[in-house]
């Protein structure tokens, strides 16, 4: 399975990653190699096999009681924020 520059650019866009021009060629090669290696999966006969999403087969989701356990700590949590004003996170304008 090979990928081209366009594929890399599309994936990088979908994943919101800026790539420098010179990085793109490297990713064309290495992602192509990885996908080739991953292509070995085609060797496996998986007809009728259930996909395995969790290593804990047979366990079900636990349910939490509907209780408010959290206090307002936005001041602390926003200490890591690059830009905050009046308790709000600020980003370049969202166009709708």
* Minimum CB distance to other proteins, residue 11 (Å): 5
* Minimum CB distance to other proteins, residue 84 (Å): 9
* Minimum CB distance to other proteins, residue 28 (Å): 11
Please tell me the distance from the alpha carbon of residue 75 to that of residue 68, in angstroms, as a whole number.
19
* Residue 24, burial from CB neighbour count under 10 angstroms (0-12, 13-18, 19+): middle
The end-to-end CA distance of the chain, in Å, is 38
């Amino acid at each position: 399975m090979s990928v081209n520059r366009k594929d890399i650019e599309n994936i990088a866009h979908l994943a919101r990653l800026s790539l420098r021009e010179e990085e793109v060629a490297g990713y064309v090669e290495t992602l192509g190699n990885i996908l080739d290696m991953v292509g070995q999966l085609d060797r496996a006969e998986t007809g009728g096999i259930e996909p395995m999403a969790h290593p804990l087969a047979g366990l079900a989701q636990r349910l939490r009681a509907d209780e408010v356990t959290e206090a307002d700590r936005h001041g602390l949590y926003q200490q890591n924020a690059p830009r905050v004003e009046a308790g709000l996170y600020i980003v370049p304008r969202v166009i709708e």
